[in-house]
A and B are shown apart, each in its own frame.
Chain A
Amino acid sequence: MTILEAAHALRKRAVSSAELTETALKSVRELNPKLNAFMTVMEDSARAQAKTADAELSKGADRGLLHGLPIAVKDVFETCGVRTTCGSAIFKDNVPNRDAAVVAKLAAAGAVLVGKTGMHELAYGITSNNPHFGTIRNPRDQDRIPGGSSGGSGAAVAAGMVFMAMGSDTGGSIRIPASFCGTVGLKPTSGRVSRYGVMPLDFSLDHMGPLARSARDAAATLQAIAGFDARDDTSSREPVDNYLPPADCSIRGVRIGLPENFYFDRLDPEVDAAVRRMAANAESLGAHVIPLRVPDIPALNAVGRIILLAEASAVMEKHAGNRNLFGADVMALIDQGRLLAATDYINAQRLRRMMQRDFAQLWRRVDCLFTPTTPMAAPRIGETTVQLGDQTEDVRLAATRLVRGINVLGFPALSMPCGVDRRGLPLSLQIIGRPFDETLVLRVAAALEDAGSAE
């Protein structure tokens, strides 16, 4: 059942928020011992919120599509009075005295917060194999990683525990778990969703967005959380659009760019075929697929890595001397950032501006880009390398290769399922849009879902 279907059922009185919430809590009780998707379960407050939602809806006080629906947020979002660990031993006893802006907006929309989802330590990695809080497992194959860093959110949505779970994305951390778990994941434009009250990994690359069961569910969530927030210095005053694609949405005439360089290099052949099939499906729905060359993505990724290493190490510098507080993989990244020169960080930010200018030219020719989200399906837990073509590649670098650069540019990007491979593992399409055009990205994804392309 999707958010739209549940919202319809609630208003027909076919089901209550209390019933949906009990179903979610039961599912968490049954599945979480295996998947470890949830860090904290908030049974009592969830039941109270559900009771309030039912009372409000019965009086005709309707807060919108999320009203009364069980959801979760990654443990990077501050929750007043509820432990927020960021998946780190440093913050294992951290209990904030405020709600993140996103948490407050979801509450105002009437959503029922079932709990906090697990994550890769400090949101700094893609496996969600957390040395402090345990390994999170992929519901599609429990021997495999769910991706990360929002791995608990991906697992919770894919397992059907909640309708939607919020994630954060600094170098792909919403889209990678969406890809590996087979959900939709939306990284909005920089500034579209407030970062206030979210524990930072990187000041200039962090983005907040939903993992959900469908494009329309992601749209319904974005509608609730988008908008200007004076407490976030990167927050945009760009007007909030109506994001929800209509039931019979059309993509006739939409110009879809299909990169001829970089994005289709070194892929699992099944990923390549699945994404090209999606482009063909879009064409059959009336879109124009335009082959084109994109600017230098490896350079963009190098710039993104310099910025991330430097900023994340700056955030963690005061803890860096206490090495036993960090997992080995995260400590290695923090050490790398501490050795970079200040001039390299500044020059990476100068190159970032150059690249933003170069990439902006793309939007004269196309309305969005189709690329794979990840070059492969979910790796096994503990795998550190992956074989792609004739090359062996580090799993983290492979998983972030096609998504990291978009955080540097700030464009919106959505990952959606596009079938399964020979082992039954999800494959995924990434749709990249022009700044603040989440509406088109979501419409294209919804049209493909309506046509059955995501199955």
Chain B
Amino acid sequence: MKNWKKIAEGSDISIPEPDLDRISPALDALEAAFRPLTKEIPHDMEPAVAFYVFPEAAE
């Protein structure tokens, strides 16, 4: 599992230690569900993002 306290420190994100202790189990559970999925992504799969044409550009 990831060390969330070290990630917070390394990213200079200020979260009080008791709060980090409280959220770590939820992040661990999400990590366990999500990490295996990333191994299934085909190399050429692009993200589902919207392509935005600003109205000014379309005129």
Q: Shortest Cβ distance from B17 into chain A, in angstroms? A: 12
Residue of A nearest to B34 (CB): A302
B residues 1-54 with Cβ under 8 Å of A?
A: 4, 7-8, 11, 13-16, 19-20, 22-23, 26-27, 30, 33-34, 37-38, 40-42, 45-50, 52
CA distance A305 to B46 in the complex (A): 19
Residue of A nearest to B15 (CB): A335
Q: Shortest Cβ distance from B11 into chain A, in angstroms? A: 8
| 7 residue pairs A–B, Cβ–Cβ below 8 Å | A302-B30, A339-B13, A347-B38, A350-B47, A351-B37, A353-B47, A356-B48
Interface size on A, residues (CB 8 A): 32
Chain B residues at the A interface, C-beta cutoff of 8 Å: 4, 7-8, 11, 13-16, 19-20, 22-23, 26-27, 30, 33-34, 37-38, 40-42, 45-50, 52, 55
Contacting pair A339 B8 (CB below 8 A): yes
Q: Which A residues lie within 8 Å of B8 (CB)?
A: 338-339
Q: Shortest Cβ distance from A317 into chain B, in angstroms? A: 10
Contact of A230 with B55 at beta-carbon distance under 8 Å, contacts A306-B30, A353-B48 already known: yes
A residues 293-339 with Cβ under 8 Å of B?
A: 298-299, 301-303, 305-306, 309, 321, 323, 331-332, 335-336, 338-339
Contacting pair A346 B37 (CB below 8 A): no
Residue of B nearest to A230 (CB): B55
Q: Shortest Cβ distance from B12 into chain A, in angstroms? A: 11
A207 at the interface (CB under 8 A from B): no
Contacting pair A352 B15 (CB below 8 A): no
CA distance A335 to B49 in the complex (A): 24
Contacting pair A348 B19 (CB below 8 A): no
Contacting pair A344 B34 (CB below 8 A): yes
Contacting pair A349 B34 (CB below 8 A): no
CA distance A350 to B40 in the complex (A): 10
Contacting pair B50 A351 (CB below 8 A): no
Contacting pair B48 A352 (CB below 8 A): yes
Q: Shortest Cβ distance from A374 into chain B, in angstroms? A: 20
Contacting pair A349 B4 (CB below 8 A): no
Kindly list 11 other residue pairs between chains A and B, CB separation below 8 angstroms, not including A306-B34, A353-B47: A335-B13, A339-B7, A339-B8, A347-B38, A347-B41, A350-B45, A351-B40, A352-B48, A353-B48, A354-B41, A354-B42
Chain A residues at the B interface, C-beta cutoff of 8 Å: 204, 230-231, 233-234, 298-299, 301-303, 305-306, 309, 321, 323, 331-332, 335-336, 338-339, 344, 346-354, 356
Q: Shortest Cβ distance from A299 into chain B, in angstroms? A: 5
Which of the residues B13, B30, B47, B48 comes within 8 Å of A305, measured between beta carbons? Answer: B30
Q: Which A residues lie within 8 Å of B45 (CB)?
A: 350, 353-354
Which of the residues A321, A339, A354 comes within 8 Å of B27, measured between beta carbons? Answer: A339
Residue of A nearest to B41 (CB): A350
Residue of B nearest to A344 (CB): B34
Contacting pair B34 A303 (CB below 8 A): yes
Contact of A336 with B37 at beta-carbon distance under 8 Å, contacts A331-B19, A349-B48, A350-B46 already known: no
Residue of A nearest to B38 (CB): A347
Q: Shortest Cβ distance from A161 into chain B, in angstroms? A: 36
Please list the 10 inter-chain residue pairs (A to B) with the smallest Cβ-Cβ separation, ordered nearest first. A349-B47, A302-B33, A353-B48, A233-B52, A352-B48, A302-B34, A350-B45, A230-B55, A347-B38, A350-B47
Q: Shortest Cβ distance from B26 into chain A, in angstroms? A: 6
Contacting pair A302 B47 (CB below 8 A): no
Contacting pair A303 B46 (CB below 8 A): no
Contact of A233 with B34 at beta-carbon distance under 8 Å, contacts A332-B19, A338-B13 already known: no
Q: Which A residues lie within 8 Å of B46 (CB)?
A: 350, 353
Q: Which A residues lie within 8 Å of B7 (CB)?
A: 339
Q: Residue among A303, A338, A339, A353 with the most chain B CB within 10 A?
A: A339
Q: Which B residues lie within 8 Å of A299 (CB)?
A: 33, 37
CA distance A347 to B48 in the complex (A): 10
CA distance A321 to B15 in the complex (A): 9
CA distance A344 to B50 in the complex (A): 18
Q: Which B residues lie within 8 Å of A339 (CB)?
A: 4, 7-8, 11, 13, 15, 23, 27
Residue of B nearest to A233 (CB): B52
Residue of B nearest to A338 (CB): B13
Contacting pair B27 A336 (CB below 8 A): yes
Q: Which B residues lie within 8 Å of A338 (CB)?
A: 8, 11, 13, 15
Q: Which B residues lie within 8 Å of A347 (CB)?
A: 37-38, 41
Contact of A350 with B30 at beta-carbon distance under 8 Å, contacts A303-B37, A321-B14, A332-B22 already known: no
Contacting pair A332 B23 (CB below 8 A): yes
CA distance A434 to B16 in the complex (A): 45
Q: Which B residues lie within 8 Å of A302 (CB)?
A: 30, 33-34, 37
Which of the residues B23, B33, B34, B41 comes within 8 Å of A335, measured between beta carbons? Answer: B23
Q: Which B residues lie within 8 Å of A233 (CB)?
A: 50, 52
Q: Shortest Cβ distance from B49 into chain A, in angstroms? A: 6
